[in-house]
Amino acid sequence: MIQGLIGKKRGMTEFFNDDMVKVITTVVEAGPCLVVSKKTKDSDGYEAVQLGFEEVKPQRVTRPMKGHFAKARVNPTAKLKEFSATVEDYEIGDVVKVDIFKVGDILDVTAKSKGKGFAGTIKRHNFSRQPMSHGGMAHRRPGSIGQASYPAKVWKGIKMPGRMGGKNVTVQGVRIVDIDVEKNLLFVKGSVPGPVGGTVLLRHTSKGAKNASS
């Protein structure tokens, strides 16, 4: 059994469960993915399957990657990712679809968050504003960052203005509330990182859901 799939965020919608309770969900197009290569314990020291997602024209990939896909005798794909799997269950060229999941499964969802550009400490770290009255000279400034004569330095990791967002973020314990096998759509409770159209990685998790009662 493979432990994950590559997908694409398609947006958000509402879903009503059997008790007619409205649940806000994110729609993810999960697969179909091609098995491009396999990793075995004898040759690589671990078992995994490399999946490809979204076929592209051969001229869109580099020459080394063309050889990689040609060796597997599959069409080039835009995305490649390894997932833990029982290697004997899959052959190169197989298509893995959303039916590897079922309603109620709990996943970890990884995606690149939206980039916010350069941001100050109020927006980036939720700092409070300084007094706005007449005479105030440091309304949105972060304030003092230095130390006394000892240790006479600024500690690493201090919260400062800088780039906000644009990082890989993993949301753990996301529950599947519905699946559309024909359209390869997965409906997961809550929000997932990234913009609409962004690539997401879906993995089975051993942890519980964020809200086990729902």
Q: What is the domain-level CATH number for residue 54?
A: 2.40.30.10
pLDDT of residue 212 exceeding 60, the answer is no
Structure tokens at 92: 């190169």
Q: How far apart are CA 100 and CA 58, in angstroms?
A: 29
Residue 97 lies in a domain: yes
93 and 149 inside one domain: no
Q: Is the pLDDT of residue 214 over 60?
A: no
Both 53 and 89 in one domain: the answer is yes
Distance CA 111, CA 95 (A): 22
User: Does 103 share its domain with 189?
Assistant: yes
Asked, for residue 211, whether it belongs to a domain, the answer is no
Question: Would you say residue 67 lies in a domain?
Answer: yes
Are both 95 and 137 inside the same structural domain?
A: no
pLDDT of 170 reads 92
75 and 122 share a domain?
A: no
Q: Which residue has the tokens 């973020």?
A: 169
Structural domain including 17 reads: 4-115+168-204
What is the per-residue pLDDT for 20?
Answer: 84
- Check whether residue 98 and residue 122 sit in a common domain: no
How distant, in Å, are the alpha carbons of 111, 133, 211, 213 from that of 28?
A: 12, 48, 20, 23
Q: Identify any residues that bridge with 199 across adjacent strands, giving them in sequence order.
A: 8
Residue 212 lies in a domain: no
Residue with tokens 């197989």: 94
pTM: 0.80
- Measured CA to CA, the distance from residue 4 to residue 81 in angstroms comes to 10
Per the domain annotation, does 198 fall within a domain? yes
Examine residue 213 and state whether it is found in any structural domain, yes or no: no
- Could you give the number of structural domains in the chain? 2
Residue 24 lies in a domain: yes
32-54 pLDDT, tens digit each = 999 988 888 888 888 889 999 98
Which whole number is the average pLDDT over 142-152?
85
**Distance (Å, rounded) from C-alpha 214 to C-alpha 205?**
17
User: What does the pLDDT read at residue 128?
Assistant: 92
Per residue in 10-29, pLDDT (tens digit) is 999 988 877 888 889 999 99
Q: Which residues pair with 50 in a beta bridge?
A: 37, 82
Residue 11 has a pLDDT of: 93
Q: In this predicted model, what pLDDT tens digit does every residue of 110-138 receive, in sequence order?
A: 999 999 999 999 999 999 998 888 888 88
**Bond before 32 cis per omega within 30 degrees:** yes
Q: Which pLDDT belongs to residue 16?
A: 83
Domain check: are 174 and 77 in the same one? yes
Kindly state whether residues 70 and 51 are assigned to the same domain: yes
Using only C-alpha atoms, the chain has a radius of gyration, in whole angstroms, of 23
Residues 88 and 120 occupy one common structural domain: no
- Give dist(CA 66, CA 142) in Å, integer: 50
> Quick one: pLDDT at residue 143?
85
pLDDT tens, position by position, 58-105: 888 899 999 989 888 888 999 999 888 888 888 888 888 898 888 888
Q: What three-state secondary structure class fits 83?
A: strand
One domain for residues 31 and 46: yes
Residue in the structure block whose two tokens are 């709990």:
106
Same structural domain for residues 49 and 95? yes
Based on the domain organization, do 48 and 23 belong to the same domain?
yes
| The predicted structure's pLDDT at residue 213 | 47
